[in-house]
Amino acid sequence: MSDIFKNSLTFRLFKKRPSFFEGASSLLDLGANVQRYNLSSTDDEADYEALKSDWQAVGDDLRSSIKTYEQSLAKSA
């Protein structure tokens, strides 16, 4: 995986990289009790949480970009 994705705030396919033992235990987790992905009680709630997360990522990226741009301006001045 390239560094740009490793450090990106928006690259959130996994919260963290699973360990070997977590992967092995997921094979034995027939009742799907170890990991839960969608805890929303309704489709509307799931959509709301997904949109909220997406816009949070947009805001985080904008803040990061502005900070980087301001730092580059300060170095060139």
Task: Report residue 27's pLDDT band, with 50, 70 and 90 as the boundaries.
Answer: confident
Average pLDDT, the chain: 76
Cβ-based neighbour number of residue 12 at 10 Å: 10
Indicate whether 75 pLDDT > 50. Answer: yes
Quick one: CA dihedral 8, 40, 55, 60, positive or negative?
Answer: negative
- Whole-model pTM: value is 0.52
Rank 14-18, 25-29, 32-36, 73-77 by mean pLDDT and report only the highest.
Answer: 73-77
- Per-domain boundaries in the chain: 39-77
Side chain identity, residue 13? L
For residue 74, give both structure tokens: 């300060």
